[in-house]
Amino acid sequence: MSRMFGVLARSYLGLVLLFLYVPILVMMIMAFNKSPLYMLPFRFDTVWFGKLAENERLLRATWNSVWIALANMAIATSLGTMVALAFARYDFPGKRFLQGLLMPPLVIPWLITGTAMLIFFFWTGIGRGLHSILLGHVALSLPYVVIVISARMQSFGAVFEEAAASLGATPWQVFRRVSLPLMAPGIVAAALFAFAISFDQFVISYFLAPVGISILPVEIYSSIRQGFTPEINAISTIVILVSMALMIAFARLSSFSGER
């Protein structure tokens, strides 16, 4: 009976993985198909990568997405690290209330959040633009960053920091030489999380992007509405390969498993 259950569990897992990854593999394969209509038989060609290199609008949208995601990663990770440290190591009035405020952005639909941000930014005079997109992405990413880093901090407690302080270390030395190295895996994971949330964010970007300026998810959506082109497969393949390379590098360099 247990053997049969094991076979069923592995079969179910295999079906789930096929469901998740087969469409991605098909898209990546079709990026190298010469036919613009995905006609078979498959004929290997890199023509769509050449077309992509000439598509200034798609490349500009990709660059906008990359620098916004990098800026969001830096800002959200820096702020989230300080917030997580304050929540984990200090008691102050309103702490529980502020921790509770981290939850609503995680459960409120992004459509509602995007509408609220659009109204708020126009009401305050911020308006639409790449700067407002960045602000929106930071607001969305911050709760995730705080939760990831807080979970990491809960795993080692305050005993190491207290030991360093008892030996005469200043608060800055405790943070730099004890807290930060211990928090590093969580900070890196949170930074990657923030980058992924920003780079993949469609709803907020669609609401806040001004006319004539776009980022990659919005540009892909617009291109599909006008008529799908395999250049979308090409840029998606590049993004997937770069993302996988970064994740593999992080997995090899990180110490989540306790080993390097």
Question: What is the per-residue pLDDT for 254?
Answer: 54
Residue 75 has pLDDT above 60, yes or no: yes
Question: What is the per-residue pLDDT for 15?
Answer: 92
Write down the domain spans for the chain: 47-253
Question: What is the per-residue pLDDT for 230?
Answer: 81
- Would you state the CATH architecture of domain 47-253? Orthogonal Bundle (1.10)
Query: Looking at residues 203-211, what average pLDDT do you find?
Result: 85
Higher per-residue confidence, 207 vs 3: 207
pTM for this one? 0.80
User: pLDDT, tens digit, for every residue of 103-152?
Assistant: 888 888 888 888 888 898 888 888 888 889 999 999 989 998 998 888 88
Question: What is the per-residue pLDDT for 41?
Answer: 78
Pick the range with the lowest mean pLDDT from 86-90, 132-136, 157-161.
157-161
Higher per-residue confidence, 81 vs 165: 81
Question: What is the per-residue pLDDT for 1?
Answer: 65
Per residue, the 3-state secondary structure of the chain, as one string, reads: CHHHHHHHHHHHHHHHHHHHHHHHHHHHHHCCECCCCCCCCCCECCHHHHHHHHCHHHHHHHHHHHHHHHHHHHHHHHHHHHHHHHHHHCCCCCHHHHHHCCCHHHHCCHHHHHHHHHHHHHHHCCCCCHHHHHHHHHHHHHHHHHHHHHHHHHCCCCHHHHHHHHCCCCHHHHHHHHHHHHHHHHHHHHHHHHHHHHHHCCHHHHHHCCCCCCCHHHHHHHHHHHCCCHHHHHHHHHHHHHHHHHHHHHHHHCCCCCCC
